[in-house]
Amino acid sequence: MKQTPLTAKHRALGAKMVEYAGFEMPVQYTGLVEEHLTVRSHVGIFDLTHMGELELTGSGALATVNMLSCNDASQLQVGEIQYGCLTNERGGIIDDILIYRTEQGFLLVVNAANTAKDYAWIKQHLQPETQLVDRSAETTLIAIQGPKSAPLVEEVLSLSVSGLRNYTFMEPEYKGVKVLLSRTGYTGEDGFELYFPNTFAEELWDAFLNQGEKYGVKPIGLGARDTLRLEARMPLYGNDIDDETTPLEAGLGRFVKLDKEFIGREAIQKQKEEGLRRRLVAFTMIDKGIPRHGYPLLSLDGQELGAVTSGTHSPSLDHPIGMGYVQVESAQPGTEILVQIRKNQARAKIIKGRFLA
């Protein structure tokens, strides 16, 4: 099992450690609900070093990215970030990624469990004059998320983030070394992600914890990361999206640019013309019970519609919520459906938009 440069810190903080994507990672420190609510009300820091960072440089870098991502990376200026999906020939999602436009080329931030798969896929489709380097092992990633994240980041890094818009990044120096700070996250809150060399991992982690004390900072485990992203209705690769689901089915159509060429474009174009059969929807429970990954979803008259892909008891709402695929006929907001929870069928209602107000 791989470790991050912060593993010893997590253990010292009393974290419960689990294996995730081949890494030993903290799933919680003091308690999932408390950590979740801290990010909603104050600020939390996350070790996300397990995530992959793949760098593309050279004159063919843009052509490579644009051949592989369903979004249009040619629209990006240096300092901007774009969400996109790598899709296979069937339009299925190989991974969902963030694409950073750097001066040298592109930095692709990929899901930990997919780093090796993505690397192989990109390598296989490299355009001429393009270099691919996996920076994952040398890069530490800390996320700082929550309403108090901006003042904390400003204080620790001695800079101003007032000009840093969402989905943009800057490359300030820390002790003479260039680091990458982006206004991005996976929680639905204002927040930042900071990429830097492993050598600074422990001191920066401690700096965020110590200087964040007055802002109520806490370390946040992967358990709360999952409930935070689910409340924000963000899909999780491997749960809500995978090689068999397309960006259109997953409700990611706004990130699909069919007016440019990319692998999977034809299949997605065809799906769009023929119409979707299923859609990823979000729902809240009407009856008691917590939806969980894999539980069947049924119509009120008992017809099978699909299955739950993510579900939990929302800590912010103190109410059970979920996402799952249903046949398009039943995907309209307001539709009531049934979740098969063990022996019971519990009513749920499909909602529009995010779970949080």
Partner 1 sequence: MSEKRLYTKEHEWVVVKGSIARIGVSDYAQNELGDIVFVELPSVGDVVEEGEGFAVLESVKAVSDVYAPVSGRVVAVNEALEDSPELINESPLDEGWIAEIEIDDTAQVGDLMSEQEYMEYLKGV
Residues at the site binding partner 1, with contacts judged by CB under 8 A: 27-28, 31-33, 36, 223, 226-227, 288-290, 292, 312-313, 315, 318, 320, 342
Of 69 and 316, CB closest to partner 1: 316
Residue whose CB is less far from partner 1, 11 or 16: 16
Radius of gyration of the chain (CA): 21
- Smallest gap from residue 34 Cβ to partner 1 (A): 8
The answer to whether the CB of 181 falls within 8 A of the CB of 156 is no
Considering beta carbons, is residue 168 or 227 the nearer one to partner 1? 227
129 or 287: CB nearest partner 1: 287
Cβ of residue 170: shortest distance to partner 1, in angstroms?
35
Q: Which of 105, 223 has the CB closer to partner 1?
A: 223
SS3 content of the chain, % helix, strand, coil (to 5): 25, 35, 40
**Distance in angstroms (rounded) separating the CA atoms of residues 184 and 190:** 8
State the nearest-atom distance from the C-beta of 313 to partner 1, in Å.
Answer: 4
- Rounded to whole angstroms, the Cα distance separating 313 from 189 reads 19
CB of 344 to partner 1, least distance (A): 8
Q: Where are the beta strands (DSSP E) in 156-302?
A: 169-170, 173-174, 177-178, 180-182, 191-197, 218-219, 278-285, 296-298
Angle, helices 149-157 vs 201-211, to 10°: value is 130
In the complex, least distance from residue 38 CB atom to partner 1, rounded to whole angstroms = 14
**Whole-angstrom distance, CA of residue 291 vs CA of residue 296:** 9
- Smallest distance, Å, CB 231 to partner 1? 11
What does the DSSP 8-state code read for residue 45?
A: E
Check: CB of residue 322 under 8 Å from CB of residue 340: no
CA-to-CA separations, 79 to 135, 168, 246, in angstroms, rounded = 19, 6, 28
Determine the Cα–Cα distance for residues 320 and 18; give it in Å rounded to an integer: 24
Q: Which is nearer to partner 1, 288 or 354 (CB)?
A: 288
Q: Closest CB to partner 1 among 117 and 313?
A: 313
| Of 146 and 223, CB closest to partner 1 | 223
- Do 40 and 96 touch, CB atoms closer than 8 A? no
Closest CA to 322 of 337, 311, 333, 330: 311
Strands 218-219 and 44-47: parallel
Q: How far is the CB of 148 from partner 1 (least distance, A)?
A: 23
Q: What is the nearest approach in angstroms of partner 1 to the Cβ of residue 302? A: 21
Residue (of 99, 95, 77) closest to 87 by Cα position: 95
Using the minimum distance from each CB to partner 1, give the nearer residue, 169 or 283.
283
Distance in Å, CB of 290 to partner 1, minimum: 5
Residue of 164, 309, 337 whose CA lies nearest to 250: 309
Name the residue among 44, 9, 104, 2 with its Cα closest to residue 229. 44
Nearer to partner 1, 23 or 200 (CB): 23
Single-letter amino acid code for the residue at 273: E
Q: How far is the CB of 19 from partner 1 (least distance, A)?
A: 15
